[in-house]
Amino acid sequence: MAQDFDAKTFLQTLTHKPGVYRMLDASGTVLYVGKARDLKKRVASYYGSKAHHPKTMALMNQAERVEVTVTSSEKEALLLELNLIKQHQPYYNVLLRDGKGYPFIHITTTDDYPRFSFHRGARKAPGRFLGPYPNSAAVRQTLTYVQKLFRIRQCEDSFFSNRTRPCLQHQIKRCSAPCVELISPDDYRRDVDHAIMFLEGRDNKVVDDLKARMDAASGDKDYETAAQLRDQIAAIKSLHSRQSITGEHQVDTDALAVAEHQGKWAVVSVMIKGGRVLGSRTFFPRTRAEHGAAEVMAAFISQHYLQGEVPAEILTSVAPEGRELLEETLGARRGSRVQIRSNVRGTRRGWLEMAAANASESLLMRAAGQASVSNQLQAMAEVFDLDEPPSRIECFDISHTSGEQTVASCVVFGESGAIKSDYRRFNIKDVEAGDDYAAIAQVVRRRYTRLKEGEAPLPDLILIDGGKGQLQAAAQEIDAIALDGPLLAAVAKGPERRAGKEVIHVRGAEQALRLPADSPALHLIQQIRDEAHRFAITAMRQRRGKQRRQSALEGIPGVGPKKRRELLRHFGGLQELRNASVGDLEQVAGISTKLAEQIYARFHAG
């Protein structure tokens, strides 16, 4: 230990209160963060004569001093430990990589005709959010069920407001056409309530309500309505049986299993809501030292749930360290009791076995994929004459719609494949429409000015989707910010834009590279290039979608949903409305002269 840190003196003055301790190396880098019910006993255990675990021995060989923070309770220590791990990313801690948050279903409950839609991100919009769901596929499948069973709209408000007749979704019996008022707000709201109950797992209540309505319709000799309700009940029961929903397990439950292979860990979470298995999600925690299954499970639970949604019940393949403390802390976050259970039977045991099988399979598949990527990176080092395989590659692509809504993507690949948490998108500003050279120059300048300031590690290789012009534009910006180190190359589509015929322009090389179609290096380059293109297209569509979500009539003071529908009905469509004069607009019920002038000005500005 360093001369300025006397462990014996430090331990003599250390308190027996709960808190968090940090092990630091000679440079002050935090190597490990831990919590303790009794700081003195816990820290002293590192300096005792008892034989240590190999991980602890390696830690103590590097640690030069210890810092502590006293807390008022062990629960507070757990929360502080989580924040410090997230802040310092210590080498010897189990680290759960940040990824995309869980998706939800958003319901615009404040509308006369609420919409059900996919949502990911901050839940700030008005309305209700149901979830979370394990992945986007689970949300989209659930929304399909909602459409088929309850005919709830999923269209954007701009599309909804501009309809003058039912769309295709109504024709295929997946929407009740509230846009043209083929259903009353009260009846639609009843369908929304049933859809929410269905998503919450209260299928039996929905079926009971539908049966009562069916009997009433039959008693009134409204046999057509009774038949529709009968078919709806049958569809719900059929889905119920296919999904193996169990009535005795109605609480929200996550089943967690850990698996280890060659020092790598996987954690699989199977999500169950209302007795319905929604799907699973796999996590690969970063572990740079030897850890036990109980430690990995505890680290996952604290890092995952203390900053996310907490279910009422968590099933685990192995009991986590500090189970009671985790239950207490998670219960406080949830606002109700949380149980963490390992010894379970019946259906719960089946869920855990499902999670365990997925965890083992995910590890094997990941190991095989990493071996393939390793071979591809080695081949890439040979192609580009690098001293060693690149450990970090960044690739850029530009996407736009006829020169508008220009977006640049930056995707990142490493030794294990895509590093999606490091992906970035850039809205390109102040460049001439369609000028891809200027767009590439701008994104390269913005990206590497930030990286040079330490925002993220610099790549070993930078790929540009394009030809010599894009390569030159990027090179000029690299030189302007005096960035040394990364190799720069552009990947151009070959003759007839056929895959396998790519031409690779390398900065400083006299001749372009043309790799054989079976080259492992080319396959990785194609994969990275295609991923950059996909990410750019997605970003461009999202940007374009934001602009299109607003109807041309939205934002005009005094023109609400009802007046928008009345205007569109009166004129028959948006184009006819654009051509209307102020006098024509005044003929619509509820449109004053002043409002007509505002509407006319909106369509004829400039």
Q: Is the pLDDT of residue 247 over 70?
A: no
pLDDT tens-digit series, residues 385-427: 888 999 999 999 998 766 567 889 999 999 888 998 899 999 8
Q: What is the mean pLDDT of residues 87-110?
A: 86
* Residue 344 shares a structural domain with residue 428: no
Q: Is the pLDDT of residue 254 over 70?
A: yes
* Domain assignment present for 184: yes
Q: Last residue of a domain, which of 364, 381, 405? A: 364
CATH number reported for the structural domain that contains residue 26 in this entry: 3.40.1440.10
Strand partners, 270: 255, 280
Coil vs helix vs strand at 297 = helix
* Domain assignment present for 96: no
CA pair distance 120, 153, nearest whole angstrom: 19
* Residue 422 shares a structural domain with residue 313: no
* Residue 306 shares a structural domain with residue 404: no
Looking at residue 295, the DSSP 8-state letter turns out to be H
Placement of tokens 């009422």 in the chain: 312
Residues with Cβ < 8 Å from 216, sequence gap 6 or more?
none
Confirm if 115 and 188 have CB atoms less than 8 A apart. Answer: no
Tell me the pLDDT band of 268, cut-offs 50, 70 and 90: very high
CA pair distance 504, 524, nearest whole angstrom: 13
Tell me the pLDDT band of 41, cut-offs 50, 70 and 90: very high
* Residue 314 shares a structural domain with residue 437: no
pLDDT tens-digit series, residues 312-348: 999 999 999 999 999 999 999 999 999 999 999 998 9
Give the per-residue SS3 of 362-427: HHHHHHHHHHHHHHHHHHHHHHCCCCCCCCEEEEEEEEEECCEEEEEEEEEEECCEECHHHCEEEE
Query: How confident is the model at residue 1, as a pLDDT?
Result: 45
Q: What is the mean pLDDT of residues 54-79?
A: 90
Query: How confident is the model at residue 57, as a pLDDT?
Result: 86
Residues with Cβ < 8 Å from 397, sequence gap 6 or more?
408, 409, 465, 529, 532, 533, 535, 536
CA pair distance 121, 217, nearest whole angstrom: 43
CATH number reported for the structural domain that contains residue 289 in this entry: 3.30.420
Identify residue 437 by its one-letter amino acid code: Y
Q: Last residue of a domain, which of 88, 117, 151? A: 88
* Domain assignment present for 410: yes
pLDDT tens-digit series, residues 18-40: 999 999 999 899 999 999 999 99
* Domain assignment present for 93: no
* Residue 353 shares a structural domain with residue 417: no
Query: pTM score, two decimals?
Result: 0.70
Q: What is the mean pLDDT of residues 440-462?
A: 89
Q: What is the mean pLDDT of residues 367-379?
A: 86
Confirm if 513 and 383 have CB atoms less than 8 A apart. Answer: yes
Q: Is the pLDDT of residue 371 over 50?
A: yes
Nearest to 362 by CA among 511, 261, 222: 261
Coil vs helix vs strand at 128 = strand
* Residue 292 shares a structural domain with residue 346: yes
Q: Give the strand pairing for 392-401 and 404-414.
A: antiparallel
Q: What is the mean pLDDT of residues 182-209?
A: 90
Tell me the pLDDT band of 249, cut-offs 50, 70 and 90: low
For residue 158, give its domain range. 104-242
* Residue 15 shares a structural domain with residue 117: no
Is the peptide bond between 132 and the residue preceding it cis, with omega within 30 degrees of 0? yes
pLDDT tens-digit series, residues 504-553: 999 988 888 999 888 899 999 999 999 999 998 887 777 766 555 455 66
Nearest to 272 by CA among 344, 222, 347, 172: 347
Domain count, the chain: 5
Q: What is the dihedral of CA 113, 119, 124, 130, to 10 degrees?
A: 70
CATH number reported for the structural domain that contains residue 464 in this entry: 3.30.420.340
Provide the CB-side half-sphere exposure for 400 (13 A, CA).
Answer: 20
* Residue 116 shares a structural domain with residue 220: yes
Q: Is the pLDDT of residue 575 over 90?
A: no
Query: How confident is the model at residue 2, as a pLDDT?
Result: 46
Nearest to 91 by CA among 66, 55, 53, 65: 55
CA pair distance 142, 215, nearest whole angstrom: 28
* Residue 235 shares a structural domain with residue 275: no
* Residue 519 shares a structural domain with residue 463: yes
Tell me the pLDDT band of 373, cut-offs 50, 70 and 90: confident
Residues with Cβ < 8 Å from 552, sequence gap 6 or more?
574, 578, 602, 603
Helix (H) or strand (E) holding 132: none
Q: Where are the beta strands (DSSP E) in 116-168?
A: 116-119, 128-130
Strand order in the sheet with 264-273: 276-283, 264-273, 253-261, 313-316, 339-341
* Residue 460 shares a structural domain with residue 340: no
* Domain assignment present for 598: yes
Q: Is the pLDDT of residue 275 over 90?
A: no
Query: How confident is the model at residue 246, as a pLDDT?
Result: 52
Q: Last residue of a domain, which of 53, 88, 123? A: 88
Q: Which residues of 313-347 are buried (b: 16+ CB within 10 A; e: fewer)?
A: bbbbbbebbbbebbbbbbbeeeeeebebbbeeeee
What angle in degrees, to the nearest 10, is found between the helix axes of 185-199 and 203-219? Answer: 140
CATH number reported for the structural domain that contains residue 576 in this entry: 1.10.150.20
Which phi and psi angles does 460 have, rounded to 5°? -85, -25
* Domain assignment present for 514: yes
* Residue 310 shares a structural domain with residue 400: no
Nearest to 93 by CA among 234, 325, 296, 377: 296
* Domain assignment present for 202: yes
Question: CA torsion sign, 381 to 396 to 394 to 471?
Answer: positive
What Rg, from alpha-carbon coordinates, does the chain have?
Answer: 30
Q: Is the pLDDT of residue 228 over 50?
A: yes
Q: What is the mean pLDDT of residues 155-179?
A: 87
Q: Is the pLDDT of residue 383 over 80?
A: yes
* Domain assignment present for 406: yes
